[in-house]
Amino acid sequence: MKGIPISGVRNFALMGHTGSGKTSLLDVMLNILGTNERVGSVDDKSSMADWTQEEQEHEISIWAKPFDGVYTAASGKQRRFVVLDTPGYADFIGQLTAAAEITDAALIVVDAVSGIQVGTNRAWKVCEKRNLPRGIAITGLDKPDASYEKALAAIKAMWGDTRCVPVVLPTTDGKSEVDILDMPTDAVPADMAETVKAIRDHLIELAAETDDKLMEKYFNGEELTADEFSNGLRKAVHEAHLIPVFAASSKTKVGVKETMDSISRLFPSPEDYPVKCADGHEVATGENEPFAGLVWRSVNDAFTGQLSFVRVYRGTLKPNTEVLNATKGEKERIGTIFYVNGKKQTDCQEAKAGDIIALPKLKNTFLNDTLCATTEKITFKPIEFPHPVTAYAVEPKTKGDEDKIGTALHRAADEDPSIRVERNRETHETLLWGMGDMHLDVTLEHIKHRSKVDVTHHTPKVAYRETITGTGEGHYKHKKQSGGRGQYGECYVRVHPRVPGDDEWFANKIVGGTIPHNFIPACQKGFVEGMAKGPLVGSEVSNIKVELYDGSYHDVDSSEVAFKIAGSRALHEAIEKARPVLLEPIMTIAITVPDEYMGDITGILNTKRGRILGMGVDEGMQVITAEVPQVETFKFCSELRSITGGRGSFELTFARYEQVAANIAQKVIAAAQKDKVAVED
C-alpha cells in the first residue's frame, strides 16, 4: 500500500485455543482499521473473518486467512497491519503451521475465564519452534467469571515470570486500560501507581539487556532515552526475551486500541531483520530490493479461479510484471494483484515486503513455490506440514461420480497439504487422510458445497500382511492340451523365513537344466503374483525366501505363461505348509493430555492392545508414547476428544508389522473368508 514504508508494516498472526476470542478480537480490529464498516460477530454469522459456509455452520475458524488495513496509532504514526486469523481447533493445525511460517510475529489470545488450554499450548509450541516474536492478549474480561489476575499468573507460571510482562493493564473498575508504555505517570490511577512503576523498571532493564552500551548506561544509573528504550524493547520482543501481555475486551472494545498501539511500538517490521533463504544465506528486505515471495496457500475461488496467496518477503511487486518461479525454473506473468479481506478482493497496485497478496490464475505455480524477480534467483525453504493421523475410506454416493470425486479430492489436497489422498493398492480403497475426524468431515462438506459431489465414507480396511514361521515345499505341474500346441511347466518350490540382512528373496537352485534358464524369469513372475495374495486373508506375503529347486519342461509345449502359472500355484502350496501367520501394522502414538486424564488414557490404551513405551512432560502437559495396532487407531480421534473435552492431541507414525495374536487372527481370517464367499455369491 502506497504511502506507508515497510518500516511501518506490522505482520502478525492471531493464535490460540478455539473459543478463546481470536475471531471476535479480529473483528473489532478490522472495524478500527476501517476494513469493515461494522463490528462483525461470530454469533450472528456476520463475522468478516469466519465467512465461509463451513465456518459459519461449525462456528469455528477453519482456514488461515489474511486481513489488512491502516492503523493510526496514538502517536499519530500510521501503521499498516497485516493480520492472519488462524484456527484454534486441533484438527486444523496445518493452517496454523503455514501461518506461523510466513508471519513476522504472533498474538496469542488467552480467555480470562478458560485460561491456558491445549490450543494455547499448541500455538506457543509453534512459536517456540521458530523463535517467533509474540505477545499475549488476555480477552473476555467482560465475562462474569473473568479474572485478569488469575490468567496473568497462569501465563507467568507457564512461560516465565520475568519474560511475560504486562504492558496493557485493566483498571480496577475494568472500564479502561493503563497503557504502561504511553500513559504519563501522573495519569496512572493511584491504586495502580506502584504496580506500574515496578513494571516500567523491569521493562527498562529488559531493554538495556539487549545492548552492551545500554547495559553499561543502566548500571551507571543513567536514564535511557526514549529511542533507546523503544528500540531496546523492540529488540527484546524480536528475540523473544520479552513477551508483552495485553488486556482487551472485544465486547466492550476496552483495551483493543491500546493493544494495537503496543503492537505498533513493539512488534518487528519486515525490514528490521534480513530474511533467510533455503540455502541458509540472508537477504535484505527493503522495498528497493529485488522482489521475492513464497506461495503459502492455494485456493480455488468460485469467481476468480485459482488464487495463489503469496507472502512478500522483500522488494516490491506491481501488476503486469514478469517474475521467475525459482522452484520450477519457469517464468510467470503477474496480471492482477489482490488484497483479500474475507469475501472482499481489492486491487493492489504495489505490494511490498510484509504484504500478503493473492495472485489469480498462475499457470505453473503452486504451494511452496518461490516467486522472485528475474534478475536474482532465490528460493525460500518450503513449509513443512504435519503428517495426517486418521483416515476415511471414501467413495462417491452415486456411481456416475467416480471421475468427479477424484478431481474433487485432489483439489482439496492441493488446497490443504495436511490432507492426503491415496489409493491403497492392498485394500483397493481410496483413503482420505487428515488431522482428525472434524478435519475430514469439513473437507467432505467443502467438496460437496464446491464440487457438488456427495461422498460416503467408512472406516478403512487394515492392510494386513502374511508371512511364514516354518519351512514348506510345494509342487505344481501345469499341463494343458486343447488342440494344437499345449501348455506345460512344472515347478518344485521351497520356502522359509528370510533371515535379517538377506536382501534376496529368490534363490535359483535348479541344476542339470530341469528348467531351462530362459524360463526362470517366468517362474519368478509367478512367485511375485503368488506373494500378492496370501492363503489366509488374501494379503501380501512378505519376509519369505523362495527357492526354486526342481521342475520339468517340454520341448514344444513349455512357455513363459505355463511356468508363471506353475510357479504361482507351487508357491501357494509351499506357503500353506510353512505355518503362515497374519501380520498387522503397528503404529507409534504420542498422546499429549492434561495430567488429570492420564489414568483414562492408559486405560484406553490397554483396551486397544497398546504397549506404553514411556511418559514425559512437555510445557505442563503429559506425553504418553505407546505402540498400538493400526486397527485400534481409526476412531481414536473422537475417543480422545470425548475423554479430554478436546484438550488432548496425538501424533501417529508407522513403526513396523507384527504378528497378530491367534484369537484375533482367527476373527480376521473368518471375516475375510465370509467376505470372499459373499463376493463369489
- Are β-strands 420-424 and 429-434 bridged in parallel, bridged antiparallel, or unpaired? antiparallel
Which has the closest alpha carbon to 32: 277, 358, 258? 258
Extract the C-alpha cell encoding 278: 533455503
pLDDT tens across 154-195, in order?
999 999 999 999 999 988 777 788 889 888 888 888 889 999
Number of neighbours of residue 408 by Cβ within 10 angstroms: 23
Q: Which of 284-293, 347-356, 487-496, 642-651 has the lowest mean pLDDT?
A: 642-651
The single residue listed with the C-alpha cell 472500564 is: 175
The helix/strand count (H/E) of the chain reads as 16, 35
Residue 364 near residue 330 (C-beta atoms within 8 A)? yes
* Superfamily (CATH H level) for 275-373: Translation factors (2.40.30.10)
**Structure confidence at residue 506 (pLDDT):** 97
The model's confidence at residue 681, banded by pLDDT at 50, 70 and 90, is: low
Burial 438-471 (b: 16+ CB within 10 A, else e): bbbbbbbbbbeeebebebebeebbbbbbbbbeee
The model's confidence at residue 445, banded by pLDDT at 50, 70 and 90, is: very high
pLDDT at 589 over 70: yes
The model's confidence at residue 679, banded by pLDDT at 50, 70 and 90, is: low
Q: What's the CATH architecture for 582-663?
A: 2-Layer Sandwich (3.30)
Which has the closest alpha carbon to 98: 450, 467, 419, 318? 419
CA distance 571 to 529: 10
Residue 459 near residue 634 (C-beta atoms within 8 A)? yes
Extract the C-alpha cell encoding 620: 505442563
Q: Which of 17-26, 178-187, 417-426, 564-573 has the lowest mean pLDDT?
A: 178-187
Identify the three-state secondary structure at position 199: helix
* Domain extents in the chain: 6-182+242-266, 275-373, 390-458, 466-578, 582-663
The model's confidence at residue 2, banded by pLDDT at 50, 70 and 90, is: low
Q: Return the CA Rg of the chain.
A: 32
Give the chain's mean pLDDT. Answer: 92
The model's confidence at residue 620, banded by pLDDT at 50, 70 and 90, is: confident
User: What interhelical angle do 520-532 and 560-577 show, nearest 10?
Assistant: 50
* Superfamily (CATH H level) for 390-458: Elongation Factor G (Translational Gtpase), domain 3 (3.30.70.870)
The whole-number average pLDDT for the span 561-567 is 97
CA distance 103 to 12: 5
- For the chain, give the longest Cα–Cα distance: 112
Specify the DSSP class assigned to residue 178: E
Please state, for a pLDDT cut of 90, what percent of the chain lies above it: 70
pLDDT tens across 62-113, in order?
999 999 999 999 888 999 999 999 999 888 999 999 999 999 999 999 999 9
The domain made up of 6-182+242-266 has a fold known as Rossmann fold (3.40.50)
Segments in 416-486 forming alpha helices (H)? 437-451
Residue 198 near residue 204 (C-beta atoms within 8 A)? no
User: What interhelical angle do 636-644 and 437-451 show, nearest 10?
Assistant: 120
**Structure confidence at residue 483 (pLDDT):** 66
Separation in Å, CA 432 to CA 391, 394, 411, 424, 587: 5, 7, 12, 11, 18
CA distance 267 to 402: 50
> pTM, whole model, 2 decimals?
0.85
Q: What angle do CA 488, 491, 492 make, to 5 degrees?
A: 155
**Structure confidence at residue 41 (pLDDT):** 83
CATH assignment of 466-578, among 2.40.50.140, 3.40.50.12780, 3.30.230.10, 3.40.50.300: 3.30.230.10
- Are β-strands 465-468 and 472-480 bridged in parallel, bridged antiparallel, or unpaired? unpaired
The model's confidence at residue 680, banded by pLDDT at 50, 70 and 90, is: low
The whole-number average pLDDT for the span 331-343 is 93
Domains 390-458 and 582-663 equal at CATH topology level: yes
**Structure confidence at residue 1 (pLDDT):** 47
Separation in Å, CA 151 to CA 117, 145, 161, 478, 517: 11, 11, 13, 79, 79
Q: Give the contacts of 105 (CB within 8 A, at least 6 positions apart).
A: 10, 11, 12, 13, 132, 133, 134, 135, 237, 267, 268
**Structure confidence at residue 175 (pLDDT):** 77
**Structure confidence at residue 600 (pLDDT):** 94
Q: Give the contacts of 65 (CB within 8 A, at least 6 positions apart).
A: 49, 84, 85, 340, 342
The whole-number average pLDDT for the span 304-308 is 85
Number of neighbours of residue 99 by Cβ within 10 angstroms: 28
Q: Which of 27-36, 320-329, 544-553, 616-625 has the lowest mean pLDDT?
A: 616-625
CA distance 14 to 500: 51
CA distance 65 to 56: 15
Please state, for a pLDDT cut of 70, what percent of the chain lies above it: 98
